[in-house]
Amino acid sequence: MSAVEDKTIAVADGISLHAKIYAGGAKTPAICLHGLTRNESDFELLAPKIAATGRDVVALTMRGRGRSTYDPNYLNYHPLTYRDDVLKAMDSLAVTRAVFIGTSLGGIVTMLINESAPDRVTAAVINDVGPELALEGITRIAGYAGKTKTNVASLEEAASEIRAVNGVAFPGADDDFWRAFARRTFRENPDESWTLAYDPNIGKALTEIGPAPDLWAPFESLKNKPTLIIRGSISDLLSPEIVAKMRGVHPNFDYAEVPNVGHAPMLTEPAAWGAIQAFLVGID
């Protein structure tokens, strides 16, 4: 088991980000970036696996989630802001270059970082997102972001809320899976109630600003970097048609599909982890 350190990192606008750092070794470190309403706890099982390959892992929580500062100006909840925050965090941690592992929003931020600061990205794992977003998926996400119950009485109620939103993506998941998912999405209060661990205003920003700027140029900027695209086989955000278009601008990316999983794989599934493990072998 790798040693784990909690860090608080000041970025901009009076905001601090929370990170968990998993000690692994001298290879190029990895930075894990989560999805829209998630936080670094989504990588609590994956990060030690990556650290065991000989590299430190930084699981970073973006502003407005988890133990990072909630932004009083919800218009700052935007991928370009997150891009700048991650670059600032890298500077603070003295991480010159990294292997980026980005799920959904984290994948979008990875593309934007490579476009604006290509020297900071050694390689990229993009989890279930592309430079174009399928309408079905973005409509579903906009339908729940910021609209889940903010407070619930128990972990079981939290798990029920999360299952109602994400059940379509994990049709075979059992009760233990949903309780673990809920623990990563809510935080427990002293009275044993649970509170949503992200700012509901993220949903307002998504509605008013939109999910992302145009991403085809940022994605194309990765074409000379080792890139692994992972897709859930029943994803409603990254369609096979979008994957085919992605090959038109970046024909050499590695690809893995996770059976019977939608948006987004947890990356510990055998198909996902096997692909990540093989991908990392060639990266010092």
Question: What value does the mean pLDDT take over residues 263-274?
Answer: 98
CA dist 155 and 218 (Å) reads 39
CA dist 41 and 184 (Å) reads 6
Return the H-helix or E-strand segment holding 22.
strand 16-33
Write down the residue that tokens 């093989």 correspond to: 278
Q: According to the model, what pLDDT value does residue 229 have?
A: 98
Amino acid at 184: R
Query: For 9, phi and psi rounded to 5 degrees?
Result: -125, 120
| Residues 59 and 127 placed together within one structural domain of the fold | yes
Residues 6+ apart with CB under 8 A from 194: 151, 152, 153, 154, 155, 157, 158, 182, 186, 187, 188
The CATH number linked to 252 is: 3.40.50.1820
How crowded is the C-beta side of 123, counted as CA atoms within 13 Å?
20
| Residues 85 and 156 placed together within one structural domain of the fold | no
Q: Mapping DSSP to helix (H, G, I), strand (E, B) and coil, where does residue 37 land?
A: coil
| Residues 49 and 75 placed together within one structural domain of the fold | yes
| Residues 117 and 171 placed together within one structural domain of the fold | no
| Residues 151 and 26 placed together within one structural domain of the fold | no
Mean pLDDT of the chain: 95
Confidence at 135, pLDDT banded by 50, 70, 90:
confident
Q: According to the model, what pLDDT value does residue 1 have?
A: 54
Higher pLDDT, 37 or 146: 37
Residues 6+ apart with CB under 8 A from 16: 8, 9, 10, 68, 69
Amino acid at 114: N
Residue 138 sits at the vertex; the CA angle it makes with 236 and 184, to the nearest 5 degrees, is: 85
Q: According to the model, what pLDDT value does residue 143 have?
A: 73
Domain range for residue 256? 4-140+199-281
pLDDT digits (tens, 9 = 90+) for 65-120: 999 999 999 999 999 999 999 999 999 999 999 999 999 999 999 999 999 999 99
pLDDT digits (tens, 9 = 90+) for 179-234: 999 999 999 999 999 999 999 999 999 989 877 788 999 999 999 999 999 999 99
- Indicate the number of domains in the chain: 2
